Structure 1
Amino acid sequence: MQRFCLVLLFCLYSTLSVFGQVKLSSQSKKAIEYYNKSDEYLSVKNYKEGSAILEKAVKEDPNFIDAFQRLGDIYRITKDTANAKKNYQRVILLNPDFQKQDYFFLGDIEISNGNYISARQYLEKFMSYEDKAQKYIPDAKRLLADCKFADTALKTPVAFNPKNLGDKINTSADEYFPTITADGATLIFTRRTVNNEDFYFSNLVDGKWSLTTPLKGNINTPNCNEGACNVYADGQLLLFTICNSPNGLGRCDIYFAKLEGSKWSKPFNLGPPINTTNWESQACLAPNGRTLYFVSERKGGLGKNDIWKAELQDDGSWTAPENLGPNINTPFNDESPFLHADDQTLYFSSEGWPGMGAHDIFISRKDNAGNWGKPQNIGYPINTFREEISLVTDGSGNKGYFSSNTLSGHGGYDLYNFDLPESIKPAKLTFVKGIVFDKNDKLKLDARVEVINLKTGTSIYKSLSNAETGNFFASLPLGNEYVLNVSKKGYLFYSDHFTIPGNDTSRVFTIEAPLSPIAVGEKVVLKNIFFETNSFQLNPSSKIELNKLIDFMKSNPTVNIEISGHTDNIGGIQPNQLLSENRAKTVYGYIIKAFPYPNRLSYKGYGETQPIDNNGTEKGRANNRRTEFKVTKIE
């Protein structure tokens, strides 16, 4: 509902009363005395006393239109819609054309209570006036579109089975803005107690949520409100909002914290150009770990609050934020973006697209060219005439999570989940779980983990494994081949390759990634270097792995290596020897072009002389056909 400035409104009333520019509709001196007395209260925003004395005025004169009008305005602005409606209707009964915008206000009030038929009648009456107030026209058109949408939506409801998450999570306080890791195992949310917002979490154990506890570490504070959090899919990074922080740039800024073992790090302000002197909030990170979506009221948008995005660059800075444009944003408020782990399904809240009134939840899907499609309202009764502010889903795309204060709960806002209808589910994914550790002493390591689409070269996932557990978790689209690269300073990198079938949603890939400390004699099998059959011509997809090796050499200037080629035992000793030499030479040639330091590189073919698996099976022979590098010297 539109809220208008009380100061200007009541200054106008006072001016008209004092200078007598408007003749009041009452002849009762007592009623007029009460009416004028209300100016004193309203000028200091004492709306309670102001409305009370106006009620006396209309009791003295039941036909005092000006007093009913003023009462309607006060009750509307103070959100007492029932009394606002009653007084506006009284004005219209006494004089249908007294204030034409009253029809707009009544239409707005009726939609806020789900009365779409009467809302439409009031709004159409307002729009019928040729001399109507121009500033209300955009909102009137929007609300009429809501009435039209609601008429259809009420006749075609979608399946909706909300389930309260239970007393281990919900309390008599307000719980809202839930976020969940892609594996559905950890839920983080905001709880408001004694006017302070803090983060709490719960783990799913044997299908049941554990008793919530405050997030461990340095995030929650007694003096600032922390809210609107969004956890990165693997649970290792948390984006959130802090308002009124002493080190903030604006009223509310976006921060992030990293999970260090089992505790969260000190919050870091993302700084400019993400945060400004304006209001920034409600951030989420794409699966690639580099694209940030967030809400801002900065200049250059299409409405008051718009959804923007920015890219993290290699030097750690952010690109200038880019507005998502008219396929997502409207002249009204568009908020609460949540990008599913499929990187192509965006859920967000909007009051600009046709809905049930107020904010509704919408879904938009990204096409192959990276453009967002026209948003789809996710339907009634998920959306209602009340405020639907945010929706997140688990990685499987089967469950949606939201907060509500209108369902039977434990008090205030509670957290719920429900089964997502098929029409609004994201793309199917599968998951890769891994653990990174030191090959020698088995200690768990925090290492950089990256998963790359082998065909496109696009980074699908980039994060750090947990320093305490060594764990990492990635959600990946189906039907692709992927490169896995794990790296850490002081260690040789780990390379792997896997294919996810297009219909395999149940399988969870489990990977162990042992890292070898850099030492003479240590080897790495380059599992993502590919040649044509019986050829030493490199497959173009090999460039991903080769470039990782070049980066390793640049980052370790004292390390010398040997590139080695190996074959299975099929095809003869001499041909295999020659093939292995040529393949090693080809890899050497690619690297030396980008890294012209031949004194640090050598190559050699070993043919079939150094098998690492049984040549009696196809799998064993495939493992033996390989390219390796070995540390030969550390200067």
Structure 2
Amino acid sequence: MRIFTFLLIQAFVSLKIPAQNCCYRPSGARLNAPFQRSLITLKIVHFGKYPYKLINLWTFLEFMRPVLLLICFLLLGYSTYSQSYSIIDGRAIRFFTEAEQLVKERRYEEAEEKYRDAIKREGSFLEAYVKLSQLLITQGNLQEAESVAGLGKNRLSGKNATTKHAVDIGWVFSNIYLKTGKFDQALSQFKEIDPLFEDSFRTNMYYKEMKAQMDFLEQHLGNVKDIQREQLEEPLNQYQLQYFPVMTADGVQILFTKRDGTGNFDEEDIYTSYVTTSGGWSPPESIASTINSAYNEGTCTVTADGNILIYTSCDAPDSEGSCDLYVSYRENGRWSRPKNMGKEVNSRSWDSQPSLSADGRILFFSSNRRGGFGGNDIWYTVRMSDGSWSEAKNLGNVVNTSKDEISPFMFFNNEILFFSSDGHQGFGGKDIFLSRVEEGEFQEPENLGLPINDHQDQVALFITAQKDYAYYSEMSSSPEGDRSLLYRFPFPEEIYLGDNLIVTGGKVLNSKTGEPVDATLSLVALTNDSTLYEFKADGKTGDFMMLYPEKSISGLYVEKKGFLPKIYNVERDSIQNVEDLKVELTPIAAGEEFVFENVFFDFDKYELKPESMSSLTRLVKFLEENPNVNIMISGHTDNVGSAGYNKALSLQRAKSVQAYLVSHGIHEARVATEGKGDTNPMVPNNSPQNQALNRRITIRVL
């Protein structure tokens, strides 16, 4: 697979191997009994662009394998051996020392045979059992390594066996159990040998890392979540490879990367499917001819409403580097021609695995560019008011580490970032973590625990806006070849994802003609004037989608230049429960009027409350965008109190709005005021609710 490369080892950079094309290799991960599952088990590297330059993953691993094996081999052991051995047989010792030399020369197969010769010559040669099992571990032959270590353990009852030999073999078993996901056995074995380590070894980095992981295991082994996975039904999963699924907030559209084979020239494309009326899935199809091309397109992200798409493409003619991010907008029912996101976002390095915030205002992605903390880091960029994107910035060292952070996914509430990492404490390989945003700052990442994470690489996770399911892809191997399929599982309720989100939609129409209007809809928290979500209605149909946090106090602002704004108080108007909200915008014309919602006063007061700022700032914007418009600000009250008092109070409230506008640059001559008191009620004053509706400010175009 060619898009979401994450095996770009730092040594690769120094070797100056070109990193443009991509190739694919499965990690060999399997489902870990009883849950036997790895969220995504695709591992990728991209290399030379043209056939005569092609260096695939196998070549790269063969090139780097001696270096990596030697490093791993030297680091696995608890102790180093001097010229004193557990045996005295000179020929067996000679085999052993020859094997050690062969390891230094990176001739590992020959070294393995020499270690075996030493053991055949002298079955009590404990050092040879340890070194052979270590070498087998570095080669990935864990089953054989466990068998050899077991034979060595059986010899610990011999007269020449020492505590040091027992610790060495116990250390090997601890590593084997960790790498095979036998966490209970790994913890038990480590606890058995931990008291026997020499003080000098306890200061070693490798002991400290092992001790930290064992403490982590002890904390999590008693808290295994109950998860039942299911494979997505046909007609999905009909291709050899499909991976990196994402969905719209309403759950009716799924997008994924599709690939027909594992060869270097098998292209990647973005495919999509929709929920049918019967509850199944429609046959997947290419997302658009404007998106998929002769190059590789994949690892995409969409906004909650499905109208902004960002994806990765490698080797395109306008590429800034190896793999770049591209953006396309759904306009009038069609995807626009994609554009490279440019040098502010892309780099000459690998840029991939994008994740948009729900409304598309922030983009997170993974990159191995300079300026990070490790191999791959998570970066972000912000969409500006003119539609351009800000210069990408590193997310910082709370999330990023000296190792790899990949596959970001910002949950729909814009408050929880999921990502994959091997730099934070985990179960082995890459684990899925989440970091919560509090007061604008990312908090210390939390491991999602067992069995979502295990000893294999877990690379990506997508969770629905309703928090009911987590979607992922999983690799499997068979004699017929490798396959990657789409799966899901019910997301555990004990992992808190914040308040519930209500997903609804509607249409924005011209009140005079009934035609669709491509208005901007902003959901704003009235307590602090922060925009929670911002979406745009489709210019062809008028359709829009909106997310409503269940417990927020918010206002919905529907705006389009040339029209009067439409303002709602979400909670009072209960619009989050309206499945098909019809919003009618009125073209600006003399005499047209709208209710200026979300302007608040205390009882019997005319000073503006802080919660009024959202509406006031938007009224300033409206007048700035329409410099020829003059308005009348009218104050209204309910029927409590005398007519004269109510008229005076309503006028003072109108003047408070006028004063705010003038203080923010609007000429006083453009904003007249009047107090209507209780003379013009919207509804009868026969209930507290109706009286609240009648206490209002209206704006009329003069």
> SS state of the match for residue 191, structure 1?
strand
**Matches of 1:114 and 1:589 in 2, distance apart?**
68
Residue 431 of structure 1 is matched in structure 2 by: 503
Amino acid at match of 1:521: G
**Matches of 2:241 and 2:177 in 1, distance apart?**
27
Residue 341 of structure 2 is matched in structure 1 by: 270
Give how far 1:314 is off.
Answer: 3.9
Judged with a 3 Å threshold, the aligned counterparts in structure 2 of structure 1 residues 599 and 115 are, in CA distance, closer, same or farther, namely same
Q: How does 1:298-377 map to 2 (within 5 A)?
A: 298-314=369-385, 316-319=388-391, 321-326=393-398, 328-367=399-438, 369-377=439-447
Conserved in 1, the CA contact under 8 Å of 2:92 and 2:117? Answer: no
**Matches of 1:288 and 1:422 in 2, distance apart?**
25
Conserved in 1, the CA contact under 8 Å of 2:654 and 2:697? Answer: yes
**Matches of 2:590 and 2:344 in 1, distance apart?**
45
Conserved in 2, the CA contact under 8 Å of 1:117 and 1:147? Answer: no
Give how far 1:333 is off.
Answer: 1.3
Residue 21 of structure 1 is matched in structure 2 by: none
Q: How does 1:385-424 map to 2 (within 5 A)?
A: 385-405=455-475, 412-424=483-495
Spell out, residue by residue over 1:92-118, the C-alpha distance to the aligned partner (whole angstroms, 9 max, x if none): 99xx99xxx999999766644324578
Residue 15 of structure 2 is matched in structure 1 by: none
> SS state of the match for residue 623, structure 2?
helix
Judged with a 3 Å threshold, the aligned counterparts in structure 2 of structure 1 residues 181 and 595 are, in CA distance, closer, same or farther, namely same
**Matches of 2:327 and 2:564 in 1, distance apart?**
29
TM norm structure 2: 0.72
Give how far 1:459 is off.
Answer: 0.8
Q: How does 1:50-449 map to 2 (within 5 A)?
A: 111-116=178-183, 142=209, 145-146=212-213, 149-150=216-217, 153-194=220-261, 195-206=266-277, 207-216=279-288, 218-227=290-299, 229-287=300-358, 289-314=360-385, 316-319=388-391, 321-326=393-398, 328-367=399-438, 369-405=439-475, 412-427=483-498, 428-449=500-521
Judged with a 3 Å threshold, the aligned counterparts in structure 2 of structure 1 residues 591 and 151 are, in CA distance, closer, same or farther, namely closer
**Matches of 1:76 and 1:267 in 2, distance apart?**
46
Spell out, residue by residue over 1:287-308, the C-alpha distance to the aligned partner (whole angstroms, 9 max, x if none): 4643332222233333211223
**Matches of 2:575 and 2:209 in 1, distance apart?**
41
Spell out, residue by residue over 1:61-116, the C-alpha distance to the aligned partner (whole angstroms, 9 max, x if none): 99899xx99999999888676678889999999xx99xxx9999997666443245
Conserved in 2, the CA contact under 8 Å of 1:432 and 1:510? Answer: yes
**Matches of 1:539 and 1:574 in 2, distance apart?**
24
Judged with a 3 Å threshold, the aligned counterparts in structure 2 of structure 1 residues 11 and 401 are, in CA distance, closer, same or farther, namely closer
Amino acid at match of 2:475: N
Worse-matched range after superposition: 279-288 or 241-250:
279-288
Give how far 1:537 is off.
Answer: 2.1
Percent identity over paired residues: 29
Worse-matched range after superposition: 604-613 or 537-546:
604-613
**Matches of 1:517 and 1:255 in 2, distance apart?**
36
**Matches of 1:231 and 1:139 in 2, distance apart?**
42
Judged with a 3 Å threshold, the aligned counterparts in structure 2 of structure 1 residues 102 and 403 are, in CA distance, closer, same or farther, namely farther
1:540 to 2:610 alignment:
yes
Structure 1 unaligned segments of length 5 or more: list them. 14-23, 44-49
Judged with a 3 Å threshold, the aligned counterparts in structure 2 of structure 1 residues 340 and 530 are, in CA distance, closer, same or farther, namely same
Residue 514 of structure 1 is matched in structure 2 by: 584
**Matches of 1:318 and 1:116 in 2, distance apart?**
45
Aligned residues: 601
Judged with a 3 Å threshold, the aligned counterparts in structure 2 of structure 1 residues 138 and 330 are, in CA distance, closer, same or farther, namely farther
Conserved in 1, the CA contact under 8 Å of 2:239 and 2:258? Answer: no
Spell out, residue by residue over 1:240-281, the C-alpha distance to the aligned partner (whole angstroms, 9 max, x if none): 222222212222222222222433222233323332222222
1:459 to 2:531 alignment:
yes
Judged with a 3 Å threshold, the aligned counterparts in structure 2 of structure 1 residues 588 and 498 are, in CA distance, closer, same or farther, namely same
Structure 2 unaligned segments of length 5 or more: list them. 1-6, 12-60, 70-90, 156-160
Spell out, residue by residue over 1:552-592, the C-alpha distance to the aligned partner (whole angstroms, 9 max, x if none): 11112222222222334443433333333222222122112
Residue 549 of structure 1 is matched in structure 2 by: 619
Amino acid at match of 1:189: F
**Matches of 1:284 and 1:478 in 2, distance apart?**
24
**Matches of 2:642 and 2:235 in 1, distance apart?**
67
**Matches of 1:329 and 1:123 in 2, distance apart?**
31
Judged with a 3 Å threshold, the aligned counterparts in structure 2 of structure 1 residues 220 and 90 are, in CA distance, closer, same or farther, namely farther
Amino acid at match of 1:623: L
Judged with a 3 Å threshold, the aligned counterparts in structure 2 of structure 1 residues 278 and 568 are, in CA distance, closer, same or farther, namely same
Tell me which of the two structures has the higher relative contact order, counting C-alpha pairs closer than 8 angstroms and 6 or more residues apart: 2
**Matches of 1:307 and 1:471 in 2, distance apart?**
33
Judged with a 3 Å threshold, the aligned counterparts in structure 2 of structure 1 residues 9 and 357 are, in CA distance, closer, same or farther, namely closer
1:495 to 2:567 alignment:
yes
**Matches of 1:410 and 1:566 in 2, distance apart?**
74
Conserved in 2, the CA contact under 8 Å of 1:171 and 1:410? Answer: no
**Matches of 1:477 and 1:436 in 2, distance apart?**
21
**Matches of 2:181 and 2:553 in 1, distance apart?**
50
**Matches of 2:137 and 2:342 in 1, distance apart?**
39
**Matches of 1:11 and 1:379 in 2, distance apart?**
32
Give how far 1:627 is off.
Answer: 1.4
1:526 to 2:526 alignment:
no
1:614 to 2:681 alignment:
no
> RMSD across aligned C-alpha pairs, in angstroms?
4.6
Judged with a 3 Å threshold, the aligned counterparts in structure 2 of structure 1 residues 373 and 592 are, in CA distance, closer, same or farther, namely closer
Spell out, residue by residue over 1:355-404, the C-alpha distance to the aligned partner (whole angstroms, 9 max, x if none): 2211111233233x333333232222222222211111111212211112
TM norm structure 1: 0.79
Give how far 1:143 is off.
Answer: 5.7
> SS state of the match for residue 518, structure 2?
coil
> SS state of the match for residue 413, structure 1?
strand
Give how far 1:322 is off.
Answer: 3.5
**Matches of 1:570 and 1:55 in 2, distance apart?**
94
Judged with a 3 Å threshold, the aligned counterparts in structure 2 of structure 1 residues 114 and 594 are, in CA distance, closer, same or farther, namely same
Give how far 1:185 is off.
Answer: 2.2
Give how far 1:482 is off.
Answer: 0.6
Worse-matched range after superposition: 527-536 or 486-495:
527-536
Conserved in 1, the CA contact under 8 Å of 2:367 and 2:379? Answer: yes
1:480 to 2:552 alignment:
yes
Give how far 1:448 is off.
Answer: 1.1
Conserved in 2, the CA contact under 8 Å of 1:449 and 1:484? Answer: yes
Residue 74 of structure 2 is matched in structure 1 by: none
> SS state of the match for residue 546, structure 1?
helix
1:592 to 2:662 alignment:
yes
Conserved in 2, the CA contact under 8 Å of 1:216 and 1:262? Answer: no
